[in-house]
Structure 1
Amino acid sequence: MNAVTTGIVAGAAGTTMLNAVTYLDMAIRGRPASTVPDKTVESVASALGIAIPGRGDALAARRSAFGALGGIAVGVGFGVAASLIHRAGTRLTPTAGTIGIGLAAMAATDIPIALRGISDPRQWTTQDWLSDVVPHLVYGATVTTVLRQQDEATGHRREPGAERSSTVRSAAIGVASGLRSSTGIAAALLSGAPGSAHRARLLGATVIVGGELVADKHPNVPSRLAPPALAGRVVAGGWGAAALARRDPADTASALIIGTVGALAGSYGGAWWRQWAGRRMPDWQAALAEDAVALTMAAAALRPPARSLSVSAST
């Protein structure tokens, strides 16, 4: 199959699974269907100056139908886009594909409804977020599975062990960057090939990490969840993971996705830890424990994969 046909199949399969998980959630929890698709159709039709025919139940039925058709179109469209990107050479790992494709599809629906005032994600409950995130992750996993199966049919070879190793390293440096953003920057500096500049990079990484470890203990340090600080941690996590992927080598796009999401998880997890631990011990002790976790994860991520070590030994 060509890329477009494969994408249509992948998108249709992903949309089917997304709908199945959504309806299963409705059946288990006894919750009603979301009215967001209907309101989106009404909002778009109003903006375009199009009147949906009918009144009462007939009008409601048409809005619901158009909302469902719109969801199918978005799902299939994202499948085609993912297939074209995949065919161009960006072959995401299962984890990166699940997260990247799933969250991209979710953003494509959530951002427009927020901008149009249909719903405000900032006011959603944890249950609301789970009802949105889980089906979209299932969508991403399904699309990724179809694309990878097509690779196998065409004889494209992979190294599952290397993919898993890269995923773990990317997640580790991402979470470490969420705890201490300097670890991601250090990973980017130290992932370069050894040479005359290695000592300078090592010194720079040491100064950057050491400076943050000291500054973090200051009582007036701003919250890591403030937009500028959070953005810096996310960039550091993605940058560090991508740099390690280029070193190994592994798929850079997959590493970037996992490192970025890992940095978000580390940022919120670290903030939660400091708040929780701060009620039970002095803050500096909680900070030192966080330092230890961040440095350990960064050191594990920086360690070259086994295949690189074996190659070095043979030379």
Structure 2
Amino acid sequence: MRTIVKGLIAGAAGTSALNVASYLDMVVRGRAASSTPEQAVDRLARRADVNLGEGEQAENRKQALGALLGYGTGAGAALGYALLTARRRPPWPVGVVALTALAMLGSNGPLTALGVTDPREWPPSSWVSDVIPHLAYGITAYAAYAVMDG
């Protein structure tokens, strides 16, 4: 149980860092928030035949559910890491890369599978917008987990 709790706490810390990095990038470059989480929610709702409402109400639900999917991804990536490394924590570079990769796969994998995005077609600026916040996630989640691990 302790491993699960540590993983979830590390995921929450990492997700907070990812959000801060994303918002700072939006401020610096003056870019809008990504609409891919809302698009994913829309496609999932259609596939599951779930009615999210009409008009503004539906758009607000998509936005909220998209954000919640992000929190779930962050929690899941760190939880997976915690379970995989419960017996032996890897050195920090390996752990940071593993957590970063788990978070990127957890977010971009489903988006790609749903046809919302295709990372093979991203320009360099999109990769920067994706890698840097996920790296902030990986560093912070690893540090949080390491601190709790003693």
- Structure 2-normalised TM-score? 0.94
Q: 3-state SS of the aligned residue for 1:43? A: helix
Superposed displacement of residue 44, structure 1 = 0.9
Q: Is the 8 A contact 2:22 2:133 kept in 1?
A: yes
Amino acid at match of 1:149: V
Q: Is the 8 A contact 1:8 1:76 kept in 2?
A: yes
Q: Which has the larger radius of gyration?
A: 1
Match of 2:76 in 1: 77
Q: Is the 8 A contact 1:98 1:138 kept in 2?
A: no
Cα deviation, 1:262-284, whole Å, max 9, x if unaligned, reads xxxxxxxxxxxxxxxxxxxxxxx
- Structure 1-normalised TM-score? 0.46
Superposed displacement of residue 115, structure 1 = 2.1
Superposed displacement of residue 24, structure 1 = 0.5
Cα deviation, 1:196-226, whole Å, max 9, x if unaligned, reads xxxxxxxxxxxxxxxxxxxxxxxxxxxxxxx
- Residue pairs, 1:1-315, within 5 angstroms: 2-53=2-53, 55-89=54-88, 91-152=89-150
Post-superposition, which runs of at least 4 consecutive aligned residues in structure 1 deviate over 4 A? none
Q: 3-state SS of the aligned residue for 1:87? A: coil
Distance between the aligned counterparts of 1:120 and 1:83, measured in 2? 29
Superposed displacement of residue 42, structure 1 = 0.6
Q: 3-state SS of the aligned residue for 2:85? A: helix
Distance between the aligned counterparts of 1:66 and 1:24, measured in 2? 22
Q: Is the 8 A contact 2:38 2:62 kept in 1?
A: yes
Superposed displacement of residue 86, structure 1 = 2.2
Aligned residues: 150
Superposed displacement of residue 22, structure 1 = 0.2
Superposed displacement of residue 144, structure 1 = 0.9
Which structure ranks higher in relative contact order (CA pairs < 8 Å, sequence separation ≥ 6)? 2
Identity of aligned residues (%): 35
Q: Is the 8 A contact 2:77 2:106 kept in 1?
A: no
